[in-house]
Amino acid sequence: MIVIKGIAASPGIAIGKAYVVEDEDIVVERVEVGRDALKDEVARFKLAQKATLRDLDAAEQKVLKVLGKQHAKLIDAHRLILKDTLITRDVPKRILEEGVNAEFALSEALEAVNRQFEKMDDEFFRERRHDLFDVGKRLLLHLMKRQKKSLTEIDHECVLISRNLLPSDTLGLKETKILGFATDLGGKTSHTAILAQSLEIPAVVGLSDVSRRIKSGDTVILDGEQGMVIISPGPETVAKYEKVQQRTLAEERQLEALKGVPAVTQDGRGFRLEANLDSPEDLKSIVSLQPDGIGLFRTEYLYLNRAEVPTEDEQTKAYAAVVKAMDGREVVIRTADIGGDRLSMLGIEGPKNETNPFMGLRGVRLFLRHLDLFKSQLRAILKASTKGKTRVMIPMVSSVGEVVAARKLLEQARAELAAEGVELKEEIELGIMVEIPSTAIQIDAFLPHVDFVSIGTNDLIQYVLAVDRVNEHVTHLYDPYHPAIVRLLDHVVRAAHAKGRWVGVCGEMTSDPRAVPLLVGLGVDAMSVSPRMFLRVKQAVRGLKHEAMKKIVAKALNCAESDEVRRLLESSQ
């Protein structure tokens, strides 16, 4: 039995016979091309480019069908690579200047770009070179008039082992009987890993030489939780893993039974347990979880990856569809929080070339500079609100003046619509996100102007602890259990309750079952959870006693370090 450690790319366990895909090496030869034939060579390259574009269109249709719009953006990324001047200009230039064949010019151009990628510190960008190779390989195969071997032809249950798996290969795997895959190359944030997670295919990557150490037919266990592959496991190990597989299945079935059951602690304290909606593709699965509502509808997707702002009509349709689907349960629509790491291509003045984008023109700050955008979103929300129960929430608020301005604009939008004869519902509640320390500290000043508050712990933690939420060098300092965070959350909850306002939490902290006892003890009213963790969080809430958690929080407020808070929480389980 041999155990090889790699990177856990997609959770789940696969047990079965290995199928090793031979690396399809493409040997590119340098061929001198005579002066007269160089133009034809460029034309041949352009034809291959067109054929590759057609491939991408077909792949896009497939992604849309299997995974939805969100993932179809991967194909856009591939299109951008194909249209990049590094390919469109550089390859013909090399052909003409060096007098070489298109295949050789292309492989040289790809290698030059790859060298740039390799130099990058950021793992996310470094991993994008697999997308580059994916496009490059398609182009080369078209030039050589060769067919790419399709993994979809594998017609038996197996664990796929290969040197590398390109995103386009991964896409087809759901149609096969492949139980999981392991590769020598790859990282956690590669598109291959992201696709595997969405397709729910267990995967381990970055195993360095696994494809040489395993032969087709070997029995293997692939552990996508721990990120390892076991070759020729003994019967005891197989039995152990089979048990884990069964336990996971049983747990999932058990969790299913929690759908529609209230999120109540053992001593009877109820919580509104809601889901976060990031894009319309998630709506169906959210509805099936039967949450108490949508506590955070992130509307940014409507503004990103496009060059024009969404029209009021488009927005109204998008919001109305969600409000309607929730059938009377509340939907908290957050006005768009563009900026920070959500860069827009809308060409509006603002979040470009900022040294500190997270502290820049973001959320309500940006919208108060572009009142037309802000008003159009508020009008669309008001129109959609007739379809059910809707609330408006403003992100990145750091001064009372911003809330006053937002409310004024909301009233203006309402008056305009009324004058246009649009029938509207009674008052719509307006709340703010508490994400900026000043707002949390001075929450009492905001309360007279709002109907509710929702704490965005993702941002609040980064600003309180001065830890960039997307900087991998300081992730160890990003700490929801920091006593300063516990104190600040407690302060906000107490102040809001004293003024009769409800408090929600909608940051990722709600989706960590280990942090849930803290939120329960703090006595928040609502938690909005990422759909993936919704039932697990409900299970956690139902297993707790509110009174006991209140005592834990009282102790946590006096802790000096987050480790003490963590230990307190662990001892409470």
Furthest-apart CA atoms within the chain: distance in Å: 86
By CB under 6 A, name the one of 409, 492, 506, 518 that touches ligand PEP.
506
Closest CA relative to residue 294, chosen from 304, 308, 284: 284
187 to each of 323, 326, 349, 471, how far by Cα in Å?
Answer: 38, 37, 35, 17
- Cβ proximity to ligand PEP, 5 vs 342, nearer residue: 342
Count residues binding Mg ion (CB under 5 A). Answer: 3
Question: Torsion angle, CA of 133/135/141/142, rounded to 10 degrees?
Answer: -160
Q: How far is the CB of 96 from Mg ion (least distance, A)?
A: 51
Q: β-strands 263-264, 270-277: how paired? A: antiparallel
Give the span between the Cα atoms of 201 and 11, in whole angstroms: 8
Closest contact distance (angstroms) between CB of 340 and Mg ion is 8
Verify binding: residue 456, Mg ion, rule CB under 5 A: yes
Taking the C-alpha atoms of residue 292 and residue 397, their distance in angstroms, rounded to an integer, is 26
Helix (H, G, I), strand (E, B) or coil at 547: helix
Q: Which stretch binds ligand PEP (CB under 6 A): 170-178, 213-221, 455-463, 549-557?
A: 455-463
Q: Report d(CA 168, CA 471) in Å as an integer.
A: 29
Q: Which of 49, 190, 457, 511 binds ligand PEP (CB under 6 A)?
A: 457
Residue 296 binds which of Mg ion, ligand PEP, none (CB < 5-8 A, kind-dependent): ligand PEP
CA–CA dist 20, 213 (Å, integer) = 10
The residue type of 310 is P
For Mg ion, give the closer residue by CB, 213 or 342.
342
Interface with ligand PEP in residues 309-338 (CB under 6 A): 337
Q: Check residue 435 for interaction with ligand PEP (CB under 6 A).
A: yes
Rounded to the nearest whole angstrom, what is the least distance from the CB of residue 508 to ligand PEP in the complex?
7
- The reply to whether 6 sits near ligand PEP by the rule CB under 6 A is no
> Could you give the CA distance from residue 43 to residue 35 in angstroms, rounded to a whole number?
14
Contacted by 457, from ligand PEP, Mg ion, none: CB < 5 to 8 Å by type: ligand PEP
Of 197 and 458, nearer to ligand PEP (C-beta) is 458
Q: How far is the CB of 409 from ligand PEP (least distance, A)?
A: 21
Find where tokens 């809707």 sit. 390
Report the nearest approach of ligand PEP to the CB of residue 458 (Å).
Answer: 3
362 binds ligand PEP, rule: CB under 6 A: no
Smallest gap from residue 424 Cβ to ligand PEP (A): 27
Q: Report what 512 binds from ligand PEP, Mg ion, none; CB cut-off 5-8 Å by kind.
A: none
- Closest CB to ligand PEP among residues 20, 275: 275
Q: Does 339 bind ligand PEP (CB under 6 A)?
A: no
By CB under 6 A, is residue 456 in contact with ligand PEP?
yes
CA nearest neighbour of 363 among 433, 291, 441: 433
Q: Closest by alpha carbon to 484, among 564, 548, 430? A: 564
Q: Which listed option, ligand PEP, Mg ion, none, makes contact with residue 219 (CB within 5 to 8 Å by class)?
A: none
Give the H/E segment covering residue 76.
helix 69-83
Complex with ligand PEP: residue 532 or 555, whichever CB lies closer:
532
Query: Among 459, 468, 479, 512, which residue sits at the site for ligand PEP (rule: CB under 6 A)?
Result: 459
Query: For the residues of 209-268, what is the DSSP string, one character each?
Result: SHHHH--TT-EEEEETTTTEEEES--HHHHHHHHHHHHHHHHHHHHHHTTTT--EE-TTS
Which residue is closest to Mg ion by CB?
459
Specify which residues 310 forms β-bridges with.
none
Please state at what angle helix 38-66 crosses helix 69-83, rounded to 10 degrees: 170
The residue range among 41-49, 458-466, 513-521, 532-540 that interacts with Mg ion, by the rule CB under 5 A, is 458-466
The one among 78, 142, 191, 298 contacting ligand PEP by CB under 6 A: 298
468 binds ligand PEP (CB under 6 A): no
In the list 507, 517, 521, 531, the residue contacting ligand PEP (rule: CB under 6 A) is: 507
Strand-strand pairing, 219-223 and 178-183: unpaired
Query: Which of 158, 182, 166 lies closest to 2, judged by CA?
Result: 182
Stretch that binds ligand PEP, among 21-29, 406-414, 457-465, 486-494 (CB under 6 A): 457-465
Is 191 in the active site? yes
Tell me the backbone φ, ψ of residue 65, rounded to 5 degrees: -70, -45
Interface region with ligand PEP, contact rule CB under 6 A, candidates 124-132, 200-208, 349-357, 450-458? 450-458
- Any contact of residue 127 with ligand PEP (CB under 6 A)? no
Collapsed DSSP state (helix, strand, coil) of residue 201: coil
- Give which of Mg ion, ligand PEP, none residue 568 binds (C-beta under 5 to 8 Å, depending on kind): none
459 binds Mg ion (CB under 5 A): yes
Neighbouring C-beta atoms of residue 122, cutoff 10 Å: 12
**Which is nearest to 396 in space by CA: 429, 435, 338, 357?**
435
**Binding-site member from 87, 283, 296, 516 for ligand PEP (CB under 6 A):** 296
Residue of 191, 482, 546, 559 marked catalytic? 191
Q: How many residues bind ligand PEP (CB under 6 A)?
A: 10
Q: Where on the chain is the footprint of Mg ion (CB under 5 A)?
A: 435, 456, 459
Q: Where on the chain is the footprint of ligand PEP (CB under 6 A)?
A: 296, 298, 337, 435, 456-459, 506-507
Residues forming the active site: 191, 506
